[in-house]
Structure 1
Amino acid sequence: MAIKITGTGSYVPDVVKKNEDFNQNEFLNTDGSSIKQKNEVIIQKFKAITGIKERRYTEEHLTTSDLAFYAAKKAIEDANINPEELDYIIVGHNYGDIKHNTEQSDTVPSIGSRVKHLLGIRSPKCVAYDLLFGCPGWNQGVIHASAFIKAGLAKKCLIIGAETLSRVVDKHDRDSMIYSDGAGAVILEETKEEGGIINQVSATHTVDEAHFIYFGETNNPESKDHRKYIKMYGRKIYEFALNQVPAAMKACLDNSGYEIKDLKKILIHQANEKMDEAIVQRFYKLYDMEMPQDIMPMTISMLGNSSVATVPTLYDMILKGKLEGQSINKGDLIMFASVGAGMNINAIVYKY
């Protein structure tokens, strides 16, 4: 018996926000002072570091729970199951439902309950809840669901990662160009096939790292807007990720019973192209190896960083043939890995 992903789905919003669309923004330093460089230079440097050329923003009439529902419906259809059979719906997100041009996040009822409602599931035995774990929230939801199935508490689970970060970005902050919207979902269940989830690790670092990503006020001191926006200490996150994530990935692989040469793909959170490349390169150096070509599929250049949605969306796109030159074949050993607010880290070794 194995615990496997039997269906996938994703929702990529239609609204494309290109880098040049930020040319009119008034970017400011965190202390409110002007940035001496012109926007064209700021954007050019941003592209060189992150790899992002464009990102997707959700349509004005939709919220996080809508995106989660659309991805979930596709995953259920892909797995060819009756949604009434679901034992758990786990939704990884961070900011709840924020309607367009509103100031307050809405988290009651939970996004999980909203998705269950939209799916029309009547069974009260289908338990729906939210998981706030930063960008690694979808990975952690898979780990939760796997534990429920192993314990005999569930047979079929729906795990979703969804976010609308475009609703929580400060237009005066250069980092706002990183973030995007989207949703990805999977069905996880016990099957008679081989493979599935082989091993997983999770970690939370909080002594110095708890507030590397936080909610803060706009960079514009003259603004009367007292809303809070997603903020981060980019350099500290970069250093933390390079120091901690490769070791966690190695621990996960070493305890899986497989070797580094067996690994075919690493699906890592689409946070920052250079940072992701540095993480995976350092991971391979722990085995005195160079990073193989095509080991790390990327979507960040066109989809940006949609937090919890990046990994399941990437996985769904590869399986559905939507990412040119990338494929996952029967029996392939892959790894899901992520890092984000908390600061949290996790990794999963999975055999397709």
Structure 2
Amino acid sequence: MTSKIIGAGNYIPSDAVRNSFFENHDFMDKNGQILKEDNHTISYKLHQITGIEERRYVDQNTVTSDIGFIAAQKAIEKSGINPETLDYIIFAHNFGDVPFGTVQGDTVPSLAARVKHALGIKNNFCVAYDLLFGCPGWIEGVIQANSFIKSGIASRCLVIGAETLSRVVDIHDRDSMIYADGAGAVVIEACSSGEGILSHLSASHTHKEMDYLFFGKSYNKQSSGETRYLKMNGRRIYEFAIVNVPAAMKKCYDDSGCSIDKLSKIIIHQANEKMDEEIVKRFYALYSKEMPSEIMPMVIGKLGNSSVATIPTLLSMILDNELENHEISVGDIVLFASVGAGMNINAMVYRF
């Protein structure tokens, strides 16, 4: 027995923030010095490296649990189930509900509990909990839900990934341009027909790599006080990812028993277009093959990096035929993969 996706939904904020939005920002280095490059050049280089032209932000009255609820509602509607039949609601995020104008996360009650309440579910044995696992959190939530189903303690689960990263970034750090807001969700249930999850893998690299993503003070030494923001060591993350993620993907794919020639799509965390391309090229090189064209759908150019939301958002878009030149048909084999804070890596092979 395994589990399969029976409904997927997402929430993509309507507010498209183009790179020109950052033209008047005062970007600084970690020592508090204004960067020598002008903001137009910084924006140009960001686009060249990451592929990002714009990203989406939620409106001022919206928090992470709100958009997680919307994505969950859509996934439930697509699945056609009664939400009272859900055994688990797993909400992957990293910062909780962060009201506009603050950077303090609110996680009591849990975001999963808030979504369960908003859905009107009265079943007390529908267990709602949050999952913090960096950007790979949504895949990890699906892996956990699958384990519950395979063990027989659950038959149907809702897994949500949502984040409002625009609320936790340092406006004086050019890395803030990468981050975005969004939500995605799926309903999964027990399956024994040959479709669904074929294999999965998770790893946590914490010896030397734990703090490649971290919370730190603003680069503006004059205004931040003790407030802390999302920070990253981009070079180390890149070097870590291109070495470790392809190997993890291959191990997971080999465990599925599928031929590499049967792989239809790779849905990878949308963190950096060039990094993702290098990861997938190296993955195929491990099989002595060239990376096929159209194997890796990308939406980071328009949606930015919304952390745990990137993969379920992209999956929902493909299933709803919203992405040109990309579709998933019955029998297609898809490899999911992600990397993020921790440093955590995971992967999953799925037959539709």
Q: TM-score, normalised by structure 1?
A: 0.99
Structure 2 partner of 1:136? 136
Q: CA deviation at 1:2?
A: 4.2
Q: What letter matches 1:348 in structure 2?
A: M
Q: What letter matches 2:226 in structure 1?
A: H
The question of whether the paired residues in 1 share the 8 Å contact of 2:170 and 2:229 is answered with yes
Structure 2 partner of 1:183? 183
The question of whether the paired residues in 1 share the 8 Å contact of 2:180 and 2:306 is answered with yes
Query: Alpha-carbon deviations, 1:153-195, whole Å to 9, x = none?
Result: 1000000000000000111001000000000000010135331
User: Is the alpha carbon distance of 1:224 and 1:169 closer, same or farther for their aligned partners in structure 2, counting shifts above 3 Å?
Assistant: closer
Q: What letter matches 1:137 in structure 2?
A: G
Structure 2 partner of 1:169? 169
User: SS where residue 68 of structure 2 aligns?
Assistant: helix
Structure 2 partner of 1:271? 271
How do residues 27-176 of structure 1 correspond to structure 2 at under 5 angstroms? Answer: 27-176=27-176
User: SS where residue 130 of structure 1 aligns?
Assistant: strand
Q: CA deviation at 1:270?
A: 0.2
CA–CA separation in structure 2 for the residues paired with 1:292 and 1:123: 47
Q: CA deviation at 1:132?
A: 0.2
Query: Alpha-carbon deviations, 1:107-129, whole Å to 9, x = none?
Result: 10011111101111001100000
Structure 1 partner of 2:254? 254
Q: What letter matches 1:88 in structure 2?
A: Y
* Unmatched 5+ stretches in structure 1: none
CA–CA separation in structure 2 for the residues paired with 1:251 and 1:154: 28
Q: CA deviation at 1:225?
A: 4.1
CA–CA separation in structure 2 for the residues paired with 1:51 and 1:192: 40
Q: What letter matches 2:69 in structure 1?
A: F
Structure 1 partner of 2:286? 286
Structure 2 partner of 1:209? 209
Q: CA deviation at 1:325?
A: 1.2
Q: TM-score, normalised by structure 2?
A: 0.99
Structure 2 partner of 1:245? 245
Q: Is the aligned partner of 1:346 residue 2:340?
A: no
Q: Which moved more, 1:305-314 or 1:221-230?
A: 221-230
Structure 2 partner of 1:332? 332
CA–CA separation in structure 2 for the residues paired with 1:104 and 1:212: 21
The question of whether the paired residues in 1 share the 8 Å contact of 2:103 and 2:167 is answered with no
CA–CA separation in structure 1 for the residues paired with 2:188 and 2:26: 45
Following superposition, which runs of at least 4 residues in structure 1 exceed 4 angstroms of deviation? Answer: none
Q: Which moved more, 1:276-285 or 1:217-226?
A: 217-226
CA–CA separation in structure 2 for the residues paired with 1:247 and 1:296: 17
Q: Which moved more, 1:223-232 or 1:172-181?
A: 223-232
Q: CA deviation at 1:227?
A: 1.7
Cα RMSD between the aligned structures? Answer: 0.8
Q: What letter matches 1:349 in structure 2?
A: V
Query: Alpha-carbon deviations, 1:208-237, whole Å to 9, x = none?
Result: 000000001101111144321100000000
CA–CA separation in structure 1 for the residues paired with 2:326 and 2:59: 29
Structure 2 partner of 1:310? 310
User: Is the alpha carbon distance of 1:225 and 1:58 closer, same or farther for their aligned partners in structure 2, counting shifts above 3 Å?
Assistant: farther
CA–CA separation in structure 1 for the residues paired with 2:80 and 2:225: 47
User: SS where residue 293 of structure 2 aligns?
Assistant: coil
The question of whether the paired residues in 1 share the 8 Å contact of 2:161 and 2:185 is answered with yes
CA–CA separation in structure 2 for the residues paired with 1:69 and 1:8: 13
Q: CA deviation at 1:103?
A: 3.9
CA–CA separation in structure 2 for the residues paired with 1:173 and 1:340: 19
User: SS where residue 247 of structure 1 aligns?
Assistant: helix
CA–CA separation in structure 2 for the residues paired with 1:103 and 1:295: 37
CA–CA separation in structure 2 for the residues paired with 1:225 and 1:267: 40
Q: Which moved more, 1:176-185 or 1:252-261?
A: 252-261
User: SS where residue 7 of structure 1 aligns?
Assistant: strand
CA–CA separation in structure 2 for the residues paired with 1:89 and 1:316: 18
Q: CA deviation at 1:139?
A: 0.2
User: SS where residue 265 of structure 1 aligns?
Assistant: strand
